[in-house]
Amino acid sequence: MKKFSKLSIISVLLGVLVLFTACSTTTGGESNTKDDTSSNEEIVTKLDKIKESGKIVLGTSADYPPYEFHKEIDGEDQIVGFDVEIAKAIAHDLGVELEIKDMDFGGLLMALNDDKVDFVIAGMTPDADRKKVVDFSEIYYTAVHGIVINTENEGNFKTVEDLAGKRVGAQQGAIQEDIALEKIENVDLKSLAKIPDLILEVKNNKIDAVVMEKPVADSYVDNNSDLKLMDLTFDDGEGGSAVAVKKGSTDLVEAIDQTLENLINNGSIDDFVVEAIEMVESE
């Protein structure tokens, strides 16, 4: 039998040690690779969650005809209006169902940031303050604003100067509050959450006038013989209405913008407005 020298034995032991160390390093490397892979999972976006759930939740304030309002259809109370038709088109293009949550206008953005709704369409103007807390789509509709008064005061209120120092209403949290404060000197502003409540205040002469978006004002005046629209209009200076989404929902904004572009280009939004006004007038 061949005998091994001490040097040979040491060499063999060193070889085994090197091999063992190499194997351990390889195993550890594979483990680290797996850890890196698991830590780089794909980020789930707001749009991903909506599509996975099969539903998109709209937040709106359904007291603002013809944008959004309640109407009884076939014995059932429904929320309708041209904003609602836009929301339906967005849901359709995303391949999901639409759920509508009706709430006070002033609470819509809080609900959006609390993930109680996925998007907001409520004739909302993307002003500087709102842009700080949410993201907006492109403008989908631009309107002007008017002033509704009681017909009893038709002879007293003919110009904006006639409203100086008077008590004027506007929807709480809406751009009309700013318009009233900026355009009417020394105005005594009264803000309420619901448009119907403001209209009732005018009808009962508890306030002298209410600033409203003109299509909305037209619908109320056409359906109330004791109301009149003053012969003056205001531009809000902010560029119309847009869809609001939670900050950082870039992919959702892009999808919404694509739908809006299609609706604007094919004239659908104009059709939605006309149809919504007709629904208001048929009440």
Tell me the percentage of the chain whose pLDDT exceeds 70: 83
236 has a pLDDT exceeding 50: yes
Tokens of 98: 């639409």
pLDDT value of position 174: 84
pLDDT value of position 215: 84
Mean pLDDT, the chain, rounded, equals 86
Higher pLDDT, 143 or 72: 72
pLDDT band at 211; cut points 50, 70, 90: very high
Report field, pTM of the whole predicted structure over 0.85? no
Would 46-142+239-281 and 145-229 be classified into the same CATH topology? yes
pLDDT tens digits, 69-84: 999 999 999 999 999 9
pLDDT value of position 202: 98
pLDDT value of position 61: 97
Secondary structure class of 98 (helix, strand, coil): strand
pLDDT value of position 26: 46
Does the domain at 46-142+239-281 match CATH 3.40.190.10? Answer given as yes
pLDDT band at 198; cut points 50, 70, 90: very high
pLDDT value of position 237: 66
162 has a pLDDT exceeding 90: yes
Tokens of 108: 């819509």
Query: Residue 71: enclosing H or E segment and its boundaries?
Result: strand 68-73
The ranges assigned to domains in the chain are 46-142+239-281, 145-229
Q: What fold does the segment set 145-229 form as a domain?
A: D-Maltodextrin-Binding Protein; domain 2 (3.40.190)
Residue 118: Cβ within 10 Å count:
27
What number of helices (H) and strands (E) belong to the chain?
10, 13
pLDDT value of position 112: 97
pLDDT value of position 1: 41
- Residue 171: partners with Cβ closer than 8 Å, 6 or more residues away: 64, 105, 177, 191, 192, 193, 194, 195, 198, 212
